[in-house]
Chains A and B, each alone.
Chain A
Amino acid sequence: DAGVTQSPTHLIKTRGQQVTLRCSPKSGHDTVSWYQQALGQGPQFIFQYYEEEERQRGNFPDRFSGHQFPNYSSELNVNALLLGDSALYLCASSFWPQGAPDTQYFGPGTRLTVL
């Protein structure tokens, strides 16, 4: 049973560029959440996708956008990159909860460096 996978593992971009990160959820999961983890910090929630729609969003600007595909995989897009966008981007998958809190499983992350 494959866990959460993310690609690429590392990425280097320059300021002003755009980037797309990809995530495949754990088998049987239908919900994907994206997090940004700066060095020495805990993960910060960006947004969550379920049924191909953004369901919830954290405190991130519109430069951060996403998409979920019919097979539940997801993309995170960041436009007009800033130096401060350098971080580890984590994808977490879960099963849309039926009342009780769901358990999220994280992927290995994509390390984005903006120069």
Chain B
Amino acid sequence: GENVEQHPSTLSVQEGDSAVIKCTYSDSASNYFPWYKQELGKGPQLIIDIRSNVGEKKDQRIAVTLNKTAKHFSLHITETQPEDSAVYFCAARARFLSGGSYIPTFGRGTSLIVHP
């Protein structure tokens, strides 16, 4: 099955700095890579996603890059703000061998702390 590794586990930055979170995956069949933000006491919220036919995607201060050859993808947050503080999860998704829907395998999460 798919295995997703996420680094670092904790990231502390000053407000205004950039933050980068990196993930690697094992299943070359994975073709969809969402990123989720989870605030304390809440469920994960999708913030950006990328499909395997695209190398980079940007949405305001957030960008994601994908290197299919190396099987790694990264989340980039620029001009960080205190409200960006949360746990961020990467995920990789491939269709189950038996068909059906795509089930994501999640990384273990990165706790991002943005200091004012």
Contact = CB atoms under 8 A, between A and B. Distances in A.
Interface of A: 4, 6, 31, 33, 40-45, 48, 50, 55-56, 58, 90, 94, 96-97, 100-109
A106 B49 contact: no
Interface of B: 4, 6, 31-32, 34, 36, 41-46, 49, 51, 89, 91, 93, 95-96, 98, 100-109
Contact of A41 (B31, B45, B109): B109
Given A42-B107, A106-B36, A97 B101 contact: yes
A42 B89 contact: yes
A45 B104 contact: yes
Contact of B101 (A6, A31, A42, A105): A31
A42 B43 contact: no
12 contacts: A4-B43, A33-B103, A45-B104, A48-B103, A55-B101, A101-B51, A102-B102, A104-B46, A106-B36, A108-B42, A108-B43, A109-B43
Binding site secondary structure of chain B: strand
A96 to B, nearest CB: 7
Nearest to A107: B43
B115 to A, nearest CB: 22
Contacts of B101: 31, 33, 48, 50, 55-56, 94, 96-97, 102
